[in-house]
Every structure is written in structure tokens, then in C-alpha cells.
Structure 1
Amino acid sequence: MLNSLFSGITGMKGQQTKMDVIANNISNVNTTGFKAQRVRFQDMISETNANAQGPNNGGRGGLNAQQVGLGTQVAATDVMMQGGSLQFTGRALDFGIQNGDNSFFVVSEDGGDSGMMQYTRDGGFYTDNEGNLTTSNGFRLMGYSEANLGNPSADNLEALSIPQERDGLTLQDYNIDNTGTILGTYSDGNAYVIGRIAMSNFANPDGLEKAGENIYNASANSGVPQYGGPSDDGFGVVRSGFMEMSNVDLATEFTEMIVASRAYQANSRSITTSDEMLQELINLKR
């Protein structure tokens, strides 16, 4: 009977974890490029009161084992990497990744000096007063210079910038096409290739670790990042003037919230019922 108390506790703890995940999903319903999570459960070990037995020579058939479970535990908190819908913004430095759930923009906090790369689906970029392309939190957007456009690899990654001057010419305008190529129009009226945005793919994107600020880190189970560019084979297409929305489905989250709440209530009821049974047992002494 005491086991039922502790089984109820494991159920309550598991449902609390599920509620934490649901609340986080709902709070990020408007977060750019956010990927919802889900919780999966598995049963704990079982107490075996009697082992299984096979048929014997006396004619009796076999017997199944007698086991009593000892509760539940969280098996995984999966990240749902399906792409969110694209929302039109019309802003030149807003990019949404289309047809590439495994693809990510490559960013670096120090511009790649340490070789530490991080990854994001948040395609809202900015230019600072030096023309550097950055995320909203100042991470540098990585890509390939004009000299390395045809050789996308980790060794050729550089922090991208749009120079205000080039060979004595002044920048007039710039645009970035669906292949991630940055074209700058200068005072001579000609368009020059400045660089190209890099993208990365992972064999197991679900294995990426969230680092906050819409950033992911590679992990031991995500696989080694494969670098390329938008529209390359196996990589997504960049849509300028669009932003990827969160893939949180509020209808699903609220339904799961109801299920989690009822499951939590049911587990707490199993504890109070077990307590009442123990109280009746104690009352036998009276």
C-alpha cells in the first residue's frame, strides 16, 4: 500500500514537468522561430511478486509473472522541429527558412574568432554602425566571402558585413536573394557580390540543445553540422521579407493542459485514497 503513495508522487511530478513544458510553449507562442516541446513518459521498474513459469510435465499450463509497477518517469522532452508558418514583414533583413526543417542560420558571439558556432531559426537580422550583420542580441551572422562562394565549409566561414565603401565607391543599396547572396549597389551604379549567408544541417536536429535567445548549440547526439548555403541540395530556401513564426499550436497546448491537470488531480486522489486505506488499517487496533 505504501508503494501506491510513492507511485502517485511520481505521477504528480511527471505531470508537473508536463505543465512546465506546456506553459513554456504557450509563453513562446509569439517567439520568432520557436520550436514547441512535448513530454513523453515511461513506466518505472516493476516489483516482481512471482516469476513466470512454463508448462510442467504434470499437465499444468504456464503462469505469467506477477508484477506491480512502481510509478512513472519522464522519458524525453522532445523538440518538435517542424517549420513554423512564414509571416510577411517586407523588411529587407528579415529571412524565413522554407522547405528546410533541418536547416539553420549560423551565428557566432565573437564573429568566429574562437571557432565556436551556434545556430538559429530566427531570421531577423540587423546592421550595426560598421555594417556588420547581427542578430537582435549582437551575435554575428556567418557566411562566405566573395572568394569562397563556391566552397562552403566550416573552414571558410566568416562574419558577414556590408561595407559602406568599396574601392572608393559609396554604398547606395543592397539586397539578398533566395540563395543568400548579398548584392551591394554602389555609387557607380553596378551591383557587386559581397558574400553569401551560410546555413547548416544536422543529421539529428532534435538533438540540438536550446541555449536561450533563440540559439541552439550542437550536442553529442545532434551530429556534426554540415555547412552549405540557401537553396543548395539538402538545405532550405531563404525568403527575404518574411519571418518564421512559432510552431506552437494553442489548441493542442490547451487540450494537453486539461489532460495534465486531470492526470495530476487523479494522481493526488490516489495518494489520498491510499492514506484513507492506511487510516482504516490503523483503526483496526481500536
Structure 2
Amino acid sequence: MLQSFFNGLSGMVVFSQGLNTISNNVANMNTPGFKAVNNFYRSLGEDGHGIGAKLSGEYMDESAGTIRDTGRATDLAVIGEGYFIVEKDGVYQYTRNGQFVFDDDGFLKDTVSDGYVMGSGPGGNLYRIDISTMKTLPPEATTELSFSGNLSTGDDEHEIPAVSVFNTLGEEVTFGIRFVNNTATTPGEWSVVVESDSGIPLWTGQLNFGLDGSVSTGSESLSITIPSAENGTAGVALDLTLTFGTPGDFSGSTSFAGGTVSTLGSEVVDGRGSEGLVAASFNDKGALNLLYSNGDTEEPYTIGLAYFDNPQDLRHMGDGFYVANTLQGVSYGQPDTGIFGSIQGNSIESSNVDLVREFAEMIIAQRGYQAASHVMDVANTMIETLYQSKG
């Protein structure tokens, strides 16, 4: 009879523990990346004699939550398997909550813990994502101008004005190029004159064409130097290659009879000034895309993910973070490779708490607690009856 009293007491204990888990799930229904927890129970006793029940453990619901758009480019969600890796005080923590932002020092950090979000190389090596040296794109000097179109043999002179290139300091250098027809004295020859904005000659050379109208051998390209004293910059000379085409090929520069109108034009092949970073985002493979003011892009890092053979080995530390009880069965890698899921930017994963299920579990816990309490009342009444009996 006394055992039935303790059996009822154990029932009240386990149902109250179950209600505690349910209430925590419900409280976190709007917590990004939160994984609901279910309790397991087991009976006590041996040799067929039951002595109540106890909580045997907890099981994390591994199902994915709903993906919600946030409009912030550095908010990330995992589609499929994997956890984000965050370094905090030298310890790796794992989360499905991808609320990340770059701090003032250029590090990608978790907004909840202020920990460092880890990137991953192809071999799974981990590193901090740091763009402190990438907020501006360093200048690159222009090295080549490419020409295409026709220099008409009936045209005395053709000018390409205001060609703009960059020197090694990222300064813009502007000059004009004038082509003078020498075919009256030397068939197929044109003088090339590079001039400053004020008309001062900076470089002079010759460009020759064959009888078929394509560039002659030796005229495929011309190397020029614009002196620093003449280009209006901070004292940096500029070396350029003028590319005109290939002998026998008519896709570049040509010299045919075309009346008095020439169509030759130039295209700047490379070079840029110093450009500022205007946007940072991640693609579905987790690669960080940096967009600069001139339209250039860089992809210096890839977000890292962790995969666990047994996710139940993870221990919840609060704030949506987990730590691994053991590093056995954990793999690090890049999204959209092998076992790892892909990344969706501008999004976070919502909690996977199912309110309908939690309410059902709540009713079961309540009824179970009431029933166990009633068992204790009955056992107590029977014990009182026994104590009051006479004879």
C-alpha cells in the first residue's frame, strides 16, 4: 500500500518534469533556430514489481523550422543538414540561428553571442571571416588598350579623344590618340600620336597594315610610356600596350578604303581606381560575395558548416547554441558539398515547435498529473483507514 503512494508520487514528478519541457518549447516558439525537445520516460522496478516511473532522457526534434525572409543580406539559413559554427572564448558552438552581421572591425559575428562566425576551406579547415582589409578594392594600373574598327585609306586623320585609364595610384589619366595617314608616302602606314589634354605630344609611333588590310607583322601591338610630368597625376609614369589585332585577322583593326570616315575605336581592357565596398551577401554555396562601387566582385570566404552523425550528442547551452559532448562523428565542410545542405541568404530558420502537438502533450501531462495525484489521495485514505481500524 505504501508503494502505491510512492508510485503516485513518482508519476506526479515525471509529469511535472514533462510540463517543464513543454512550457520551455512553447516559450521558444518564436526563437530562431530553436529545436523542440521531447522527454522519454521509463518504468522502475525489477522482477515484475513496478515501483513507479522516472525521466530517462530528452530527445531533440531534428526537423527543420520554417524559413523566414528577413531582408538582411548577412542573415543565413541552412537548407538541409548542418549547423553554423561560432567561436566564443576559444570554444566552438553550433547553431541553426544564422543572425549574423559584420562588426566595425570587419569580422562576421553572431548577433546573439557576439561570437566569431567561422568560415571553412575545401578541406574543412576553419577560420574567422574577416573583411577588414577588403572594405576598399586596391587600385590596379591599366596595362592594355584594345583597338577595333577601320582606318579608312581615304581619311587624312582620325582622332580618339579623351581616353581614360588608371595609373598604379588609382588616379585617372586622360589623353587623346591621333592617327595620321601616311599612305601617300608609305603604303599602309599611319602615324600614332598620343597627346595630353592640352595637345602636347606624349608619344609617337607607326602602325602598318598589309595589302589585305589587316595589321602587318610587328604592328600587332605597340608599347608606350606616358611620362609622369605630362599626365597631370602625382608623378607616376604609365606603361601601356596598344593592341591592334593579328595579321590576316579582320576582327581587330583594319585599313580599307571607306571614304573619308574612319571607325577605329578603343577599349580599356583592365585597370581600376580605388573602389569602396557597397554590399556583402552569401550565395547558396555559402560563398561571401563582396560588391564594389565599380561593379567588381570578390569571393574571399565560404561559410563553414558542421555535420553530426548523431545530433542527439549535442547539448543545449541556451541562446540557441549547442556544444558537442564528444567530437567523434563531427565533420566540418562547405555548404552544398557532400553531406552539407545549402545556404539561403536574407533569411533565418524559425523554431520548429509544433503548437498543436505541444498543447496535446500539455493536456496529457495535466491529466496524468491529476490521475497520479488521485492515486496518492486514495492510497493516503486507505492508510488512514488502516491506522483507524480497531480489533
Q: TM-score range by the shorter chain?
A: 0.7 to 0.9
Give the deviation of 1:12 after TM superposition.
Answer: 0.7
Structure-2 separation of matches of 1:240 and 1:40: 36
Structure-1 separation of matches of 2:36 and 2:373: 28
Structure-1 separation of matches of 2:68 and 2:371: 41
1:130 correspondence with 2:105: yes
Question: Match for residue 287 of structure 2?
Answer: 181
SS at match of 2:357: helix
Larger Rg: 2
SS at match of 1:13: helix
Are the counterparts in 2 of residues 218 and 224 from structure 1 also a CA contact under 8 Å?
A: no
Task: Give the direction of change, closer, same or farther, for the CA distance of 1:117–1:224 in structure 2 (3 Å limit).
Answer: farther
Give runs of aligned pairs for residues 144-163 of structure 1, distance below 5 A.
Answer: 144=120, 149=121, 151-153=122-124, 156-163=125-132
Give runs of aligned pairs for residues 227-242 of structure 1, distance below 5 A.
Answer: 227-242=332-347
Question: Match for residue 205 of structure 1?
Answer: 311
SS at match of 1:196: coil
Question: Match for residue 34 of structure 2?
Answer: 34
Give the deviation of 1:212 after TM superposition.
Answer: 1.0
Give the deviation of 1:285 after TM superposition.
Answer: 2.1
1:78 correspondence with 2:49: no
How many residue pairs align between the two structures?
253
- In structure 1, stretches of 5+ residues that fail to align are 49-66
Structure-1 separation of matches of 2:282 and 2:2: 65
AA partner of residue 390 (structure 2): K
Give the deviation of 1:187 after TM superposition.
Answer: 4.2
1:104 correspondence with 2:104: no
AA partner of residue 57 (structure 2): A
Q: Deviations over 1:4-37 (max 9, x none)?
A: 1111111111001100000000000000010001
Question: Match for residue 296 of structure 2?
Answer: 190
Question: Match for residue 276 of structure 1?
Answer: 381
Structure with bigger helix share is 1
Normalising by structure 2, report the TM-score: 0.62
Structure-2 separation of matches of 1:82 and 1:162: 34
SS at match of 2:300: strand
Give runs of aligned pairs for residues 246-265 of structure 1, distance below 5 A.
Answer: 246-265=351-370
Give runs of aligned pairs for residues 204-223 of structure 1, distance below 5 A.
Answer: 204-220=310-326, 223=328
1:143 correspondence with 2:143: no
Question: Match for residue 88 of structure 1?
Answer: 69
Structure-1 separation of matches of 2:127 and 2:51: 54
Structure-2 separation of matches of 1:188 and 1:252: 53
Structure-1 separation of matches of 2:281 and 2:356: 38
Give the deviation of 1:166 after TM superposition.
Answer: 4.1
Are the counterparts in 2 of residues 128 and 134 from structure 1 also a CA contact under 8 Å?
A: yes
Structure-1 separation of matches of 2:328 and 2:374: 44
Structure with bigger strand share is 2
Identity %: 32
Structure-2 separation of matches of 1:223 and 1:10: 36
Question: Aligned-residue CA RMSD in angstroms?
Answer: 1.6
Match of 1:117 among 60, 80, 92: 92
Question: Match for residue 21 of structure 1?
Answer: 21
Give the deviation of 1:176 after TM superposition.
Answer: 1.0
Give the deviation of 1:165 after TM superposition.
Answer: 2.8
Are the counterparts in 2 of residues 157 and 198 from structure 1 also a CA contact under 8 Å?
A: yes
Q: Deviations over 1:219-269 (max 9, x none)?
A: 13x734201111111111111112101000101101110100010010011
Greater CA drift, 196-205 or 184-193: 184-193
- In structure 2, stretches of 5+ residues that fail to align are 139-273
AA partner of residue 106 (structure 1): I
Are the counterparts in 1 of residues 74 and 280 from structure 2 also a CA contact under 8 Å?
A: no
Structure-2 separation of matches of 1:189 and 1:258: 59
AA partner of residue 88 (structure 1): D
